[in-house]
Amino acid sequence: MSLLVLGGTAWLGREIADAGVALGQDVTILARGQSGAAPADVAVVTADRGSPDAYDAVRVRHWDVVVDVARQPSQVAGAVRALADRTSSWVFVSSASVYAGEDAPGADETAALLEAHEGDDEGWETYGARKVACERLVLDALPDRALVARSGLIAGPGDHTDRTGYWPLRFAHPAGADGAVLVPDSPLLTQVLDVRDLAHWLVAAGLDGGSGVVNASGPTVPLADHLAAARSVAGHTGEVVAVDQDWLAAHQVEPWSGERSLPLWLPLPDYAGFMARSTVAAEALGLVARPLDQTLADTLAWELSAGPGRRRKAGLSPADEVALLAEARA
């Protein structure tokens, strides 16, 4: 059985390639190779997907599954044009960011989408709309042989976004000497899926001929329970200082990610459904999520090995948190 991964040296792509090897597949990756070293035991085709001859080396054989993680419509258009007739199954990794609304918990795949953005760019503002365009290209080219997986927040070891690693690491290494940690007090629901579970399922579902459009994420967990799990795996025994969203907004703390943020927290009611989408369809195709505490424990171990003092893409700096804790207690 043969698996072609378009991409395969960055986080999810690498995990997909590794999952293919673990499932006994003959794995080839096509990538520029600029996001890291190729996984072991895979064949590597180095190519720029913007080049007219990008797929020449992989068009000479038939593939059982092609998996694509692209976010640029032109790359997806080129791939399906070159390879749609060279594969039995196509798996496209899309995103829950394709949806136009984020306020309805339990929404399924029939929810309204953003208007497609068919041009290439790198802006976050068009990310979801570009994924909509990519989905349409895949479904038009392979209407009965494509699985479109709208991924939610991906968690686990290697999370370069720094969102899912922030909480277990902060509980393991509090900012202040007294061990206190600042947390959001919110009934928000969270929904994450371990990258290893997502990768395994994408390959297995493709090999099984899974098709259609599905939301791919983990079970919904209240934010308070997610934070409690992170605290538990870190062995934290210090004070937890909880503040509501109005307090956070008044003190210029950003939601979700970026500098001076609290990862995973989002304001309500606008984002009540952002991490609370129905995953019934994906579960029917075999998606299974490992326990959250296992994902968080493994993520913490990776964070500690990567260096807890590194500059991060999400979260509060220790100095910011110490100052905010003082204000919250005043």
**pLDDT (tens digit per residue) in 175-190:** 999 999 999 999 999 9
Which class is domain 155-191+219-270+290-329? alpha beta
Q: Among the CATH numbers 3.40.50.261, 3.30.360.10, 3.40.109.10, 3.40.50.720, which is that of 2-151?
A: 3.40.50.720
**Cα 92-93-98 angle, rounded to 5 deg:** 110
Model's pTM, two decimal places? 0.96
Place of tokens 């870190």: 234
pLDDT (average), residues 179-205: 98
Question: pLDDT tier at 167 (50, 70, 90 boundaries)?
Answer: very high
Q: What pLDDT, on a 0 to 100 scale, did the predictor assign at position 311?
A: 86
pLDDT in the model for residue 152: 97
- Note whether 45 and 53 are within 8 A (CB): no
**CA distance linking residue 295 with residue 273, whole number of Å:** 22
HSE-up of 80 (CA within 13 Å, CB side)? Answer: 24
* pLDDT number for residue 81: 96
Task: Judge whether 2-151 and 155-191+219-270+290-329 match in fold.
Answer: no
Statement: residue 233 has pLDDT above 80:
yes
Over residues 64-112, the pLDDT tens digits come to 999 999 999 999 999 999 999 999 999 999 999 999 999 999 999 999 9
**Cβ count within 10 A of residue 250:** 11
Cα–Cα nearest to 94, from 198, 204, 250: 198
pLDDT interval class at 310 (50, 70, 90): confident
Residue spans of the domains in the chain: they are 2-151, 155-191+219-270+290-329
* Predicted local distance difference test score (pLDDT) of residue 328: 97
Residues 220 and 10: their CA atoms lie apart, in Å, by 27
